């Protein structure tokens, strides 16, 4: 699910244009909306910014 959200945002796609391998586009959108409201993405970026993240984690993003 996270990979699909990243893919859509990185490529500037509409949710409905997400490849099927990431699951239903409505699910991707709903998860993105919910996680954004909860501050999940902000906490992820702050965690990466602290320098405590493992190198392979940063490469995968």
Q: How high is the pLDDT of residue 60?
A: 43
Give residues with Cβ within 8 angstroms of 49, minimum separation 6: none
1 near 31, Cβ under 8 Å?
yes
Supply the pLDDT for residue 44: 84
Task: State residue 56's pLDDT score.
Answer: 60
| Per-residue pLDDT reduced to its tens digit, 1-58 | 899 999 999 999 999 999 999 999 999 999 999 999 999 888 888 877 777 666 665 4
pTM: 0.72
Q: What residue ranges do the domains of the chain occupy?
A: 2-60
Number of C-alpha atoms within 13 angstroms, CB side, residue 49? Answer: 6
């Amino acid at each position: 699910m996270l990979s699909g959200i990243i893919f859509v945002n990185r490529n500037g796609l509409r949710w409905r244009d997400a490849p099927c391998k990431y699951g239903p586009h409505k699910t991707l959108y709903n998860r993105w909306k919910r996680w954004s409201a909860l501050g999940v993405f902000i906490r992820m970026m702050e965690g990466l910014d602290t320098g405590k993240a493992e190198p392979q984690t940063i490469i995968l993003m």
